[in-house]
Amino acid sequence: MSALRRSRSRVAVAGAALAAVLAVQGCTTTQDPATDRPGGLGPRLARLLDDLVQQHGFPAAQVTIDGPGGHRVLTAGAGDTVTGAPIGDGARVRIGSNTKTFVATVVLQLVAEGKVDLDAPIERYLPGVVRGNGNDGDRVTVRQLLQHTSGLPDYLASGDPAVPPDPGSPQLRPDAEKIRWAHYESADLVRIAMSMPPRFEPGARSVYTNTNYILLGMLIEAVTGRPAAAEITARILEPLGLRDTYFPDPGETTMRGPHPRGYQDIDGARADFTDLDPSWAGTAGAMVATPADLNRFFAAVLTGKLLPAAQVDQMRRTVPFDRGEPGAGYGLGLIRQPVSCGKEVWGHGGSIPGFETRNGVAVDGTVVVVVVNQLPADHAAADAVAQVFNAAICS
């Protein structure tokens, strides 16, 4: 899973016949007609969404905007390449690393309750777990896990096609068929990580690492005595009424409710990758939500509906990190995202085989989620998704 970044994942571009179908289908909208005047937000976003499908090979793309202008949705392409049906307004998608912000929010709630110390070593809460090959839980703090400054190795491979797979590496490649259907416990994933040496000294820099958030999920369970998924549900989903958001049950491979299909390049061909066991993603990226629910969640985090002001302030203290646009910064499960109009924007984003989401909240109350149902094929495609997000958040 990744945060908002230039994707390095391989994806197949649509064939000529499919591209022709999508070009005819074009962009649909449920937004306020007043914004669809010539030169307005609607036509511009419609053109950008159509470009994602027709020029960059995504099966479908959707942008959902909430805030002062109400609820608006624009969609292009096919959420299902067999039926040609678009992504519906209110359809669920796999949200990948946006899961990390849910986890960070629960951890910071525990901090506010005096049950967790941000600057305590993870060894205090998970004795003996972060050990081996130079990894030392006495030297890694909760804050460093939240901010990706721990230096711990990642149990997931990079997914960069420019980096040949190391046949001797224990890292998981989630687009592999055997990984797709395998079930992993959090402890299994951490053991994979601990079989490798640290990447750098704790606190030296910030490198995005999924292992950090698997450990934070284990921390939540250790402190509360309940699974992290149950705490996320009780502390966030139920209070906010996010009925279309959930953490998959153990062994659950299909998606609940209305949802588009998600696609992945497998050996140069587009494959339906909607169904999978997301246990390899766990508390680093397994959750499912609608864009509208995701908008409500991020708005609630930033406006203090889930956390005291002191903890929101902690979340917004950023460091430079190795992903994202130039000028982006990683806080405690939140990313500060630079945009062309200069607005202050906070969000996260996520990638998982089948889906990518870009999202953020602007200080004026505008909240945006952009969804594509296949990972970008190259930097140009990733930049085109970013352009849609930028246009929507700067409206």
Reported as a single tens digit per residue, the pLDDT across 279-291 is 999 999 999 999 9
Q: At what angle do helices 41-54 and 16-25 cross, to 10 degrees?
A: 170
CA dihedral 284, 289, 293, 298 (to 10 degrees): 20
Q: Is the pLDDT of residue 395 over 90?
A: no
State residue 186 phi and psi, 5-degree precision.
Answer: -55, -40
Over residues 219-268, the pLDDT tens digits come to 999 999 999 999 999 999 999 999 999 999 999 999 999 999 999 988 88
> For this structure, is 97 an active site residue?
yes
Mean pLDDT of 25-45: 52
| CA dihedral over 238, 240, 244, 250, signed as positive or negative | negative
Q: What angle do CA 267, 247, 316 make, to 5 degrees?
A: 95
Residue-wise DSSP of 276-320: --GGGTGGGT--EE-HHHHHHHHHHHHTTSSS-HHHHHHHT--B-
Q: What percent of the chain has pLDDT over 90?
A: 82
Contact 207, 200 (CB under 8 A): yes
Mean pLDDT of 133-157: 98
Over residues 353-394, the pLDDT tens digits come to 999 999 999 999 999 999 999 999 899 999 999 999 999 999
Instruction: Note the pLDDT of residue 97.
Output: 98
Residues 6+ apart with CB under 8 A from 220: 103, 106, 107, 110, 228, 231, 283
Q: What percent of the chain has pLDDT over 70?
A: 88
Residue-wise DSSP of 132-191: ETTEETTS-BHHHHHTT-S-PPPSB----TTS---TT---B-TTSHHHHH----HHHHHH
User: Coil, helix or strand for 210?
Assistant: helix
Q: What's the CA gap between 158 and 169, in Å, rounded?
A: 12
Which residue's structure tokens are 């307004």? Answer: 89
Instruction: Note the pLDDT of residue 2.
Output: 63
Over residues 86-136, the pLDDT tens digits come to 999 999 999 999 999 999 999 999 999 999 999 999 999 999 999 999 999
Q: Is the pLDDT of residue 164 over 50?
A: yes
Mean pLDDT of 136-155: 98
Identify which has the larger pLDDT, 31 or 352: 352
Q: Where are the beta strands (DSSP E) in the chain?
A: 27-29, 60-66, 72-77, 93-94, 131-132, 135-136, 263-266, 269-272, 288-289, 329-330, 335-336, 345-347, 350-352, 355-362, 367-372
Instruction: Note the pLDDT of residue 36.
Output: 40
Which residue's structure tokens are 């901090």? Answer: 111
Mean pLDDT of 272-301: 98
**Start-to-end Cα distance in the chain:** 28
Q: Is the pLDDT of residue 162 over 60?
A: no
Q: Is the pLDDT of residue 32 over 60?
A: no
Q: Is the pLDDT of residue 15 over 60?
A: no
Write down the mean pLDDT value for the chain: 90
Instruction: Note the pLDDT of residue 158.
Output: 74
Short-list 41, 46, 65, 90, CA closest to 365: 65
- Among residues 2, 97, 279, 351, the one annotated as catalytic is 97
Mean pLDDT of 320-329: 88
Contact 189, 280 (CB under 8 A): yes
Q: At what angle do helices 41-54 and 379-393 cross, to 10 degrees?
A: 170
Predicted confidence band of residue 324 (pLDDT cuts 50, 70, 90):
confident
Q: Is the pLDDT of residue 7 over 50?
A: no
Domains detected in the chain: 16-95+261-266+287-393 (3.40.710.10), 99-238 (3.40.710.10)
DSSP symbol at 121: B
pTM of the model: 0.91
Query: Mean pLDDT highest for which of 142-151, 153-162, 259-268?
Result: 142-151
